[in-house]
Amino acid sequence: MIYLRLANESDFALIMAWRSNPLIYQGFYSQKEPLKWDEHISWLKFRNRDWREFIIDSQEDDIIRPVGVITIGQLDHWSPEIGILIGNPTDWGKGFGKLSLALTFQWLREYNKGYVHTTILDSNERSISLFKGCGFEYLGKAREGESWYQKRL
């Protein structure tokens, strides 16, 4: 079972640890090395009211554990931006991404959104496969080495 909950300050250290893993940040556009605490806090606090960060919790039997993060930005836009990371590579390929994206799409529909978009590095085949498998369509190039995808909700 997968649940989404709003991230809070008690999650910041875990999010930083995930984002500091080279296997994770190689999929990011601008991050090229592990984070420093001050950079991480600045990045999180830079977010305004039009951003939401959800922790993806997995429940197996009576054990609930965080497995990743969904970030939704530009909620004031007709097509918000979405990003996802599954924090532990041993959890990759277990369906957490697909299930949590489905929950996020439901949340966005309740927020009266009809579209959602993402940008993905062209080298990030795993992420491209996930988003295309969830119904995203390629719309064109974004920044250099990155493409733009969109889904109608």
The secondary structure of the chain, three-state, reads CEEEEECCHHHHHHHHHHHCCHHHHCCCCCCCCCCCHHHHHHHHHHCCCCCEEEEEEEEECCEEEEEEEEEEECCCCCCCEEEEEECCHHHCCCCHHHHHHHHHHHHHHHCCCCEEEEEEECCCHHHHHHHHHCCCEEEEECCCCEEEEEEEC
Full-model pTM: 0.89
Question: What is the pLDDT, as a whole number, of residue 48?
Answer: 62
One-letter amino acid at 37 equals: W
Task: Domain 2-114: give its CATH architecture.
Answer: 3-Layer(aba) Sandwich (3.40)
7 band by pLDDT with thresholds 50, 70 and 90: very high
The pLDDT of 38-49, averaged and rounded, is 73
Share of the chain above pLDDT 90, in %: 74
Question: What is the pLDDT, as a whole number, of residue 9?
Answer: 87
Name the residue with higher pLDDT: 50 or 30. Answer: 50
Question: What is the pLDDT, as a whole number, of residue 72?
Answer: 95
Question: What is the pLDDT, as a whole number, of residue 65?
Answer: 97
Residue ranges covered by each domain of the chain:
2-114
Does residue 20 have a pLDDT over 80?
Answer: yes
Token pair 């999929």 is found at: 27
* CB neighbourhood size of 31 (10 A): 16
pLDDT tens digit sequence for 52-80: 999 999 999 999 999 999 999 999 999 99
Question: What is the pLDDT, as a whole number, of residue 132?
Answer: 98
